[in-house]
Amino acid sequence: MKPADIAEQRVPGHPALSPDGRHVVVAVTRPDLDADEYTGQLWIAPVDGSEPPRRLTHGWRDGAPVFSPDGRWLAFLRSIKDAKGAEGKAQLWVLPVAGGEPRRLTSHPLGADEAVWSPDSTRLAYTARVPEEGRYGTAEGVGAEAEPPRRITKLWYRVDNLGFLNDRPRKVFVVDALAEGAEPTQVTDGPYDDGDVDWSPSGDLLTFASARHDTWGDDLVVDIWVCNVDGSGVRALTDGTLAAGRPRFSPDGATVIFPASAASGPIISAESVWSVPVAGGSATMISDPERHNLAHATGRVTPVEDGVLLANEWRGTVELLLLPYDGGEPKVLLDGQRQVFGYARRGDVLVHTGADQHTWGELYAGDKQLSTWNDTTGALPLTEVDATAPDGYPVHGWVVRPAGPGPHPVLLMIHGGPFAQYGWARFDEAQVYAGAGYAVVFGNPRGSSGYGEAHGRAVVGDVGTVSERDLMALLDEALKADDLDATRVGVLGGSHGGFMTTWLAAHQGHRFKAAVSERAVNATDSFVGASDIGWFFSDKLWTDDPSKSPLTYADRIDVPILIVHSEHDWRCPVEQAQRLFVALKLRKATVEMLLFPGEGHELSRSGRPKHRVQRFEAILEWFAKYV
């Protein structure tokens, strides 16, 4: 794989299954290097596999399809370009399934979020951000630089890749989907952020997630609420102890199911499945945090007649489980060496999208593959590695090898989080570096998700030291192979992986020829106030001990290091890169800094396609020079 080959990626989203279970619709997205944007359309396929998927829509960026309960309509989100090529915000559209042109339903200045149908298939509920008057283009002829100052009173006031929150909260809306020219009705109000709406099976209630308590915006509490469809009768179902989201009514409407983690306590917590009665009562956890953690790629749990569907992270896989409502032993519906992206089930019909080591993502009915959007011939395979840390703890990972006999130079690649996982999926980072001739070693040391909460929490308070032991054990085990060259090794990672790259460059620099530290946390002291999440994340994970911060050891870094960062990164702000660069430059160390304009923390995953290619090229150039 070459860097520009990201243009060949076709990634499917969450599938929508027709009420009769015969057809499935899914959005497929790809990078467009010529436009330097992402484009996507909806595809439809018969579930029985009798025909290949065909393109259903031809918009610039279409996504989030959902069938009406009567099967006559398909709601979806569409972004369109204006005459100058500028992409507009995603709006809600509806398409007649029997044939005809889609019709636009909304015109929100900041766009709309995905929708849910009323049980009678006439209305749609959704959320949309409502801008403060005079901001975000709502005052004609007034640009962002001429708007009045923002008055900040809450800790949770901004988020990476979105921006400020206090002047554009999400609100719940309802719109008549069938009446021409119907105007949406705003259901919720106030300064609160109301998200993730769902409609009750009886059609008389809505549920949503929101922080509406006295200290909202200054802590992590998000409760689950219900209200009447006209917005009256708002009441909380949860008790102010959880960080909850994406509530969904059970099929009988008696309970609301939602994912949540503790709003206080340990910073590393599994996102578990909870149930709470609509009539009132205590919320109950129905998943096991040592075995189950909601996969972020899916971001949702789905109640069905016989339980709750959960895409669960487990040892580098994302499996699909059916959790009983009473919290009993789950049933495994999909497992193996794959990662499930999205899924839908009606009765006995189960469809899903997902990736394995051969493909960026395809559409399946059960284990039957329905699509062939991606070419699998160039994928380099994964080989598992099981190592043992000095204290006897097991460390799990993989190697992706380039073609040929070797000995190959090696790159140790470290994931972000730290509560995240690498695993069984075709990963462009590993494929590009292996395509350039490097054996890529990567894995899930302590701190990672997918191995239980205790595995994740093992690094709290001593992240660098504990992770270092596991990562070096994994590297040493991989280097036992005859086709890997232990004398030519580089290290790289982003976010928490950047933290560990800087840490290893200081503590294990003699083992590496070069390093690339990307969008890193380098200075935990300033991270507290500079990062969008620093106020609740920093002290709980790293403590305020300067000996736990990579920047403390900058005087030990002698390995050539490339610092890669985005100018608009609010998760790990650019000052984290600047402080490390200046510290090393003043010592006349071999260091360069590569800054990407207009990008946030997610550059490597969802940044401008051309920037993603340029980033790959710069990293390969650095390692070619020094490794």
Burial 64-95 (b: 16+ CB within 10 A, else e): bbbbbeeeebbbbbbbbeeeeeeeebbbbbbb
pLDDT tens-place string over residues 254-307: 999 999 999 998 899 999 999 999 999 999 999 999 999 999 877 899 999 999
pLDDT band at 358 (very low <50, low <70, confident <90, very high): very high
From residue 562, alpha-carbon distances to 388, 575, 590, 595, 614 in Å are 30, 15, 9, 11, 14
Q: Where are the alpha helices (DSSP H) in 357-489?
A: 428-435, 453-457, 463-478
DSSP H/E element including 534: helix 534-542
Chain centroid to CA 498 = 18
Residue 551: other Cβ atoms inside 10 A: 23
What DSSP assignment string belongs to 88-143?
PPPEEEEEETTS---EE----TT-B---EE-TTSSEEEEEEE-PPTT-TT-STT--
Structure tokens at 188: 């919720």
pLDDT of res. 228:
98
pLDDT level of residue 144 (50, 70, 90 thresholds): confident
The answer to whether the beta carbons of residues 133 and 140 sit under 8 Å apart is no
As a whole number, mean pLDDT of residues 65-79 equals 98
Distance CA 532, CA 571 (A): 5
Nearest-5° angle of CA 143, CA 146, CA 147?
Answer: 90
Assign 166 a pLDDT band (cuts: 50, 70, 90).
very high
pLDDT at 149: 93
Residue 85 lies in a domain: no
Question: What pLDDT score was predicted for residue 461?
Answer: 93
Structural domain includes residue 80: no
The confidence score (pLDDT) of residue 208 equals 98
Cis (ω within 30 of 0) for the bond into 418? Answer: yes
User: Residue 414's domain is classified under what CATH number?
Assistant: 3.40.50.1820
Q: What tokens does 325 get? A: 């409502």
Q: Are 491 and 505 in contact (CB under 8 A)?
A: yes
Give me the mean pLDDT over the 245-256 stretch: 98
What tokens does 30 get?
A: 């790809």
Would residue 247 count as lying in a domain? no
Range of the domain at 411: 382-626
- Per-residue pLDDT at 141: 86
Cα(437)–Cα(429) distance, rounded to whole angstroms?
Answer: 13
SS3 at position 434: helix
Residue-level pLDDT at 235: 97
Residues 6+ positions from 251 with CB-CB distance below 8 Å: 201, 303, 304, 305
Is residue 96 a part of any domain in this protein? no
Are 572 and 579 in contact by the 8 Å Cβ rule? The answer is no
pLDDT at 230 over 90: yes
pLDDT of res. 433: 98
Least confident of 22-31, 140-149, 402-411: 140-149
Q: Which two tokens stand for residue 263?
A: 């709003």
Residue 85, pLDDT above cutoff 90: no
What is residue 298's predicted lDDT score, i.e. its pLDDT? 76
* Contact in structure between 355 and 298 (CB atoms under 8 Å): no
The verdict on residue 129 lying in a domain is no
Q: How many domains does the chain have?
A: 1
- Give the DSSP H/E element, type plus range, for residue 594: strand 591-596
494 three-class SS: strand
User: Measured at the alpha carbon of residue 603, what is the angle toward residues 25 and 364, in degrees to the nearest 5?
Assistant: 25
Tell me what percent of the residues of the chain surpass a pLDDT of 90.
94
pTM equals 0.96
pLDDT at residue 137 greater than cutoff 90: no
- 9: confidence class by pLDDT, cuts 50, 70, 90: very high
pLDDT in tens, 415-451: 999 999 999 999 999 999 999 999 999 999 999 999 9
Tell me: pLDDT of 71 over 90: yes
Query: In this model, does residue 86 exceed pLDDT 90?
Result: no
Between these two residues, 427 and 139, which has the higher pLDDT value?
Answer: 427
Type of residue found at 138: T
* 185 within 8 A of 173, measured Cβ to Cβ: yes
Instruction: Find, among 215, 214, 168, 218, the residue nearest to 195 by Cα.
Output: 168
Residue 313 in domain: no
On whether residue 158 sits in a domain, the answer given is no
pLDDT at site 543: 84
Q: Is the peptide bond before 407 cis (omega within 30 degrees of 0)?
A: yes
Say how many residues make up the chain. Answer: 627
Q: Do the domain assignments include residue 40?
A: no
Query: Dihedral sign, CA of 219, 220, 223, 224?
Result: positive
Cα separation, 16 vs 34, in Å, equals 30
Q: What residues form DSSP beta bridges with 424?
A: none
Q: How far apart are CA 499 and CA 3, in angstroms?
A: 24
pLDDT attached to residue 306: 95
Neighbours of 60 (CB within 10 A): 17
Q: Please, which pLDDT band fits residue 613 given cuts at 50, 70 and 90?
A: very high
User: Is the confidence at residue 611, as pLDDT, over 80?
Assistant: yes
- At 184-214, the pLDDT tens digits run 999 999 999 999 999 999 999 999 999 999 9
